[in-house]
């Protein structure tokens, strides 16, 4: 019979091509055993049953094939909330919590908030849970992503209005106090060159033209018509895109800030609509 410790060591070797082989093996084992990682590690010398060994092998094979760990486990924590994850939408990242926190600075009870390109719905659900008095609308072009977002909202009992369509088209004529978005921003030329796990996520949520700025151009052009006086735009950016995105916003926005994530990397652009543009 194989012990937990022996199985973990063997799994670590099989997963040597993934970024965190030992940690991933531990998470998979915790899933199989139905216990926390700490509980599993405290009982490393216990022998596995045949059923446990078979279940672990099935999950391990998926991770070895570079399926994202979050898709295998089916959940990811975001802003302290458990979000369902699968291949219908981009995986919520800890980096995006910086975007959520920035948006929440401007959200008050009675505010109208739009989560553009909502994907899994993590941003919209977290904002609604952390400011229940806000009215939250979430849109995405992907029907599959919206189905997952609705499941996450239902699981958290978050009352969100979901709309399907291309960027602002589903909310034509509507205005908001805060618009938040984590749009696609990876240059098309990087397709096929990304980490294997990222390549398994929906391409629709990743790529944005030759320079990765296609969606920012549209948002800069279209967002002003959907912001109320004093309204705020908060958007996530990719590596090295801060100056380019700021330049796109200068004509219609003021108080343009580039903010770092927890790793100290530029991750969020936050800007206020110019008051004279709203008169």
| pLDDT-above-70 percentage for the chain | 99
In the chain, what's the furthest Cα-to-Cα distance? Answer: 75
Q: Supply the mean pLDDT for the chain.
A: 95
Burial 138-148 (b: 16+ CB within 10 A, else e): bbbebeebbeb
| Distance in angstroms (rounded) separating the CA atoms of residues 29 and 10 | 12
SS3 of 68, please?
coil
Give the residue extent of every domain in the chain: 4-65, 79-278
Residue range 208-226, pLDDT digits in tens: 999 999 999 999 999 999 9
Q: Contact at 8 Å (CB) between 96 and 123?
A: yes
Residue position matching structure tokens 């194989």: 2
Q: Contact at 8 Å (CB) between 102 and 213?
A: no
Residues 153-172, mean pLDDT to the nearest whole number: 97
Whether residue 270 has pLDDT greater than 90: yes
CATH number of this structure's domain 79-278, picked from the four choices 3.40.30.10, 3.40.50.150, 3.30.160.20, 3.40.50.300 = 3.40.50.150
Question: So what's the pLDDT on residue 44?
Answer: 82
Tell which CATH architecture fits domain 4-65: Orthogonal Bundle (1.10)
Question: So what's the pLDDT on residue 150?
Answer: 98
| Phi, psi (degrees; rounded to nearest 5) at 28 | -65, -40
């Amino acid at each position: 019979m194989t012990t937990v410790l022996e199985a973990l060591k063997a799994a670590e070797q099989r997963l040597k091509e993934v970024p965190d082989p030992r940690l991933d093996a531990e998470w998979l084992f915790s899933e199989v055993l139905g216990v926390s990682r700490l509980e599993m590690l405290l009982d490393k010398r216990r022998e596995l049953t045949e059923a446990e060994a078979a279940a672990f092998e099935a999950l391990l094979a998926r991770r070895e094939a570079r399926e994202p760990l979050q898709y295998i486990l089916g959940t990811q924590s975001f802003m302290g909330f458990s979000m369902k994850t699968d291949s219908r939408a981009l995986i919520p990242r800890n980096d995006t919590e910086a975007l959520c926190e920035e948006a929440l600075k401007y959200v008050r009870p009675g505010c109208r908030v739009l989560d553009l390109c909502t994907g899994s719905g993590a941003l919209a659900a977290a904002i609604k849970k952390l400011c229940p008095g806000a009215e939250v609308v979430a849109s995405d072009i992907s029907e599959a992503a919206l189905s997952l977002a609705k499941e996450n909202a239902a699981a958290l009992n978050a009352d969100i209005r979901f709309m399907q369509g291309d960027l602002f088209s589903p909310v034509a004529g509507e205005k908001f106090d805060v618009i938040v978005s984590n749009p696609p921003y990876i240059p098309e030329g990087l397709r096929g060159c990304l980490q294997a796990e990222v390549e398994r996520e929906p391409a629709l949520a990743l790529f944005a033209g030759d320079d990765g700025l296609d969606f920012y151009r549209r948002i800069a052009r279209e967002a002003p018509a959907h912001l109320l006086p004093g309204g705020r735009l908060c958007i996530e950016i990719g590596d090295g895109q801060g100056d380019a995105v700021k330049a796109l916003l200068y004509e219609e926005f003021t108080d343009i800030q580039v903010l770092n994530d927890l790793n100290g990397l530029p991750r969020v652009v936050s800007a206020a609509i110019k008051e004279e543009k709203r008169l």
